[in-house]
Structure 1
Amino acid sequence: MPRRSTIPALAPASSPDLPRRQTLAWLFDRQGRIRTVLRHEQTADDHTADVRALLAEPPV
């Protein structure tokens, strides 16, 4: 008898069975404070602008 897969079948994106998840990356300043959250929906240009803005701030 073939083994059953333990991986569930993929559901369509509109399926209510899919959990809503976000992939986030947090940017911290030199003092360890969260300054910016990067979301996976953002473009590379958005991420670049956020990182550059944080790097441009003078150290405190």
Structure 2
Amino acid sequence: LDNCTLAPVTLKKATKQEAEQTAMHHLESVGLADFAHAAVAKLSGGQKQRVAIA
């Protein structure tokens, strides 16, 4: 979740809440909503790629 919200919040394109809501929507679309708060080290290579897509 942090990886998906970093850019919009840093660039002030969205509030943290808006960015998290959007990020969760995109994580759900790639099947990773359950891993939103997982450590990056726990994700497989394919899951990391799907986070990048989200």
Structure (1 or 2) with the larger CA radius of gyration: 1
What TM-score, normalized to structure 1? 0.30
More strand by share: 1
Q: RCO greater where, 1 or 2, for CA within 8 Å and sep 6 or more?
A: 2
More helix by share: 2
